[in-house]
Structure 1
């Protein structure tokens, strides 16, 4: 109970036997926590239907942008079969080429090229898995960590510097580069966690600002002699030493590297942390109800800091995988939109490790298959962005998906159960 009893004097914002209420901890509305909880508790059916609805909407846009569909639409009432055939061919061509570019290409000339699309999908999913795991921990802990992009950038910067500035034995070199990127991302996110814990700063605003600072910092560093490639006027670093690069898993013909195994190990570790460890229980308790967690003796301020440190470290590994796994060099744009795509990945995966891995693989498939889809079918590559955006909209509004497909609300039982309860 937090109400003051007669004859007692309790400081505002405090409870007996507990630490002072955090300035930002629970004074703000709980709508954000409720939204995160609703998203995290969405059923697999809601997630699957959200993806299918996004693909269906994309199919409509594909057909609308197709010249043959537009031509046959001019006489659709005279010969509707021509219009329907054109629509089918446009959608089939787009999605079949997307499949060929992301999973398996039966039209390739060699067996190696047939299976290369799948390896490209897995390669593209690696940084999304890392960043998505970090964001998922924050979401389940009640923190809107929107700073994964900056954390990815800082992880890439530090790991790249370790990779090209030092000459070390192979195993030691790659280990130090990975640890450097992990610590950089953790410390960068820790700034937001410390500011929220100490001063009540809103983590959304702070992390967004840190994103901009990180990108500008990388641009500045690439103009300095410490990072700039000798003899080049372009903002690009020297090539990383081979000893600092992740080992290819399937030989030099494929880009899939050991970072994928590290990402799977991180997913297992995240599951253990959140589901089996004491700290994971504290994280989830604060995310569910910070007031109750504080009353039970949990230091909410410490949880804020540790959540951001862990989340930032995982996001930093996303930048590490980009530099040490696929790029081999630091340059502007190395992080792409990984940090922002990871928000969708975490939401789609319901902030759970397995769901995050599957969602990252789906987004990796969209990224790997979209170039061939554009080349073969002439479908604009922006259609992939539309699919991602619609998935975000639907996942962020579970009641909308349930109303679209007539799904029961969570917790609603059968008529018999309701009658028994009555």
Structure 2
């Protein structure tokens, strides 16, 4: 993938940032992987007790030959920076399009994801002509790492929740020179992007979500249509049988963090289980959620020492997010919104629920394949959805095409 070379220039505290993990950290990781201590196999023939032993063993075997230095070289070819926002260092990719009328677009990831969710979409989004597309669909792309994730700083104080993060993202786009921009997110990225659209609606040209944040009202359970009933059933199953990790991280992240920082096997199981559970694993889906892609993210969490800080995000966020559909709907979004729904996502939303919160819902597209991490599983499909979502919002008055200073 070809990337635009960064302009090596310091602007308002923004500095180019090269990734280089000390060799001693890689040596320590190899030593730990050589002496992992694993439990006996699960007593069930499936994943109902968690990640199966055979799957974890295969993941650890692959990790032992994972070439981090080669990945560093690949990622360092992407323009990477750090900025200080509200007292915290935030790492981000900023890839400028060669097209002069490109639209600024802010992409936000979630957990257990990272900026790596968007690695495979950078080229097609910023240089569509080189990837068989139209220059009219070009974006300038900004991809920040959430506080406590990747190479962003780990907060040392309370208060870094999605709302404060949205304020920091708005400031980042200001510093970069983008007065107006589009925003995209899934998982916690959907929460941050939604709040950003509420916070500065005059600046957000449009909002694209793969996990719209709209819950059913009590009366929606009385007479749902078949599609709504399926969404209710899947959400209920996820809360009952699949969300234990969220309850733990939102209540005792520090306790969990000791294990995630000390055991690569524990970290691999904690993250790897979700990559498998939330992916569209049907053969016809042709998912690109490979072991290699999973390991890139798992190794990133390990080598940045962010197992505890990323878990702590849940503690912060769950004390900030709305507690009910009524509270959600009291925080309406007025900017043009497009939603792309992937069938294997564990947290589905019905259009009727979404229309109550996203008051200018322009597009609602239900895809036939893909899961919770479309940038990893179906990057081509995500690119297509982003192009479609913003195509009608590209009028000259919508944003200043000459913006962008880095």
TM-score, normalised relative to structure 1 = 0.23
Choose between structure 1 and 2: higher strand proportion.
Answer: 2
Greater helix proportion = 1
Q: Which has the higher contact order (CA 8 A, sep 6+)?
A: 1
Q: TM-score, normalised to structure 2's length?
A: 0.24
Larger radius of gyration: 1
